[in-house]
Amino acid sequence: MQYDNNMSGVLFKNDKNGNEKRPDYRGTAVINGVDLNISAWLKSSKKTGDKFLSLRFESKAAAPPKRAPVMDETPFDDDKDLPF
């Protein structure tokens, strides 16, 4: 029997590496068959001081690449590189 993990997810404590803008927790979920990344920040209400989690869900398919592509830094020479 195969486990159906649809409509469930998991969060793990995230190492912020000194960057307070990074989420406190990160994880994954499957909602209606769509794989999602979850980010969660532990916050406090300004009015009541109650603690809560602020969540963001992003499709794994639409997630941006982890690193920007490296551009070719070869110098461009107009006289040699153009065919006319």
> pLDDT confidence of 4, banded at 50, 70, 90?
confident
Q: What percent of the chain has pLDDT over 90?
A: 64
pLDDT for res 46 = 94
To 10 degrees, the CA torsion angle through 18, 24, 30, 31? -130
pLDDT for res 78 = 58
Q: How far apart are CA 35 and CA 2, in angstroms?
A: 17
The whole-number average pLDDT for the span 30-35 is 93
Q: Mean of the per-residue pLDDT values for the chain? A: 85
Give the pTM: 0.68
Give the number of C-alpha atoms closer than 13 A to the C-alpha of residue 1, restricted to the C-beta side: 3
